[in-house]
Amino acid sequence: MAAALCAAATGVGCSSSPSGTSDEIVVFAAASLKSPFTELGSRFETENPATTVTFNFAGSSDLVAQLVQGAPADVFASADTDNMTKAVDAGLVEGDPAAFAANTLTIVTPPGNPSGISTFADLARPGTQLVVCAPQVPCGAAAERAEDATGVTLSPVSEESSVTDVLGKITSGQADAGLVYVTDAAGAGEMVTSVPFPESANAVNHYPIALLTGSSRPQAAQDFIDLVTGPHGREVLGAAGFAVP
């Protein structure tokens, strides 16, 4: 199970779990949630030693596609409401999704900002190597809203399937600038320089989480959701830079 999910996640991390365990919940979560959810998963396992939490971190649109194709999972946490709505419309969600976090875009550059990017409009300068998320990915949809707010049309050299892929292009020096969430920029630390822009207020994403109808362990899955949406979850998410929805 865990090995298959790690492969499906296309390079983003999963937690390990004993082979063949029956006391496992599988959480499909947006790539931008990797750090806080990994911490919350460890806490959940400490509080529930008979249960293992296995994560599949990827772009929300990829996760929905996997779920629609029948991938087994207990919980889905999306980086936007649009992809959660797709899961709801497909009959995959039990009950109502709960909003638990919000995130905002920022510009990131290699350390020291060698291209001198200072505004959103600078991303459209000729010769600027810009990387963004693909439009169907929540961070890509947010970038399009930022374009609408600024009246600036971007011409990225690459559109990635998750925000972590965009960040990777910047930290590896393959691009001059990228659009990622403030939480990803914070997590990258000195590997990037962050350039905030005021129009990001028009590109805030709200994150919902939901129990899935196909869950084999609905009570344990709901307990994990309660941890995420409860006081400790808000504390961990807040420390990672997420805002209250």
Is the same domain home to 193 and 111?
A: yes
Query: What does DSSP say about strands 193-195 and 93-109: parallel, antiparallel, or unpaired?
Result: antiparallel
Is 181 within any annotated ligand binding site?
yes
Residue 11 lies in a domain: no
Q: Is the pLDDT of residue 30 over 50?
A: yes
**Same domain flag for 122 and 193:** yes
Annotated binding residue at 215?
no
Assess whether 215 and 235 both reside in one domain. yes
- Whether residues 112 and 187 share a domain: the answer is yes
Is 5 within the bounds of a domain?
no
Does residue 113 sit in the same domain as residue 55? Answer: no
Find out whether 32 is annotated in a ligand binding site. Answer: yes
- As a whole number of angstroms, the distance between CA 8 and CA 30 comes to 13
**Residue 231 covered by a domain:** yes
Predicted confidence at residue 184, as pLDDT, reads 95
pLDDT of residue 106: 97
82 band by pLDDT with thresholds 50, 70 and 90: very high
pLDDT at 6 over 70: no
DSSP state of 143: H
Residue 55: pLDDT above 70?
yes
Query: CATH number of the domain that 143 lies in?
Result: 3.40.190.10
pLDDT category at 22 given cuts 50, 70, 90 is: low
Residues 63 and 126 occupy one common structural domain: no
For residue 10, is pLDDT > 70?
no
Residue 4 located in a structural domain: no
Do residue 56 and residue 36 come from a single domain? yes
Q: How many domains does the chain fold into?
A: 2
Report if residue 8 sits inside a domain.
no
Check the annotation: does 207 bind a ligand: no
Kindly state the average pLDDT of the residues 112-125: 97
Residue 10 falls inside a structural domain: no
Tens of pLDDT, residue by residue over 168-200, are 999 999 999 999 999 999 999 999 999 999 999
Domain span at 54: 24-102+206-240
Q: Is residue 18 part of a domain?
A: no
pLDDT at 2 over 80: no
**Residues ≥6 apart with Cβ < 8 Å to 27:** 37, 41, 53, 54, 55, 56, 73, 74, 75, 76, 77, 224
C-alpha span between 97 and 135 (Å, rounded)? 23
In a domain, 172, yes or no: yes
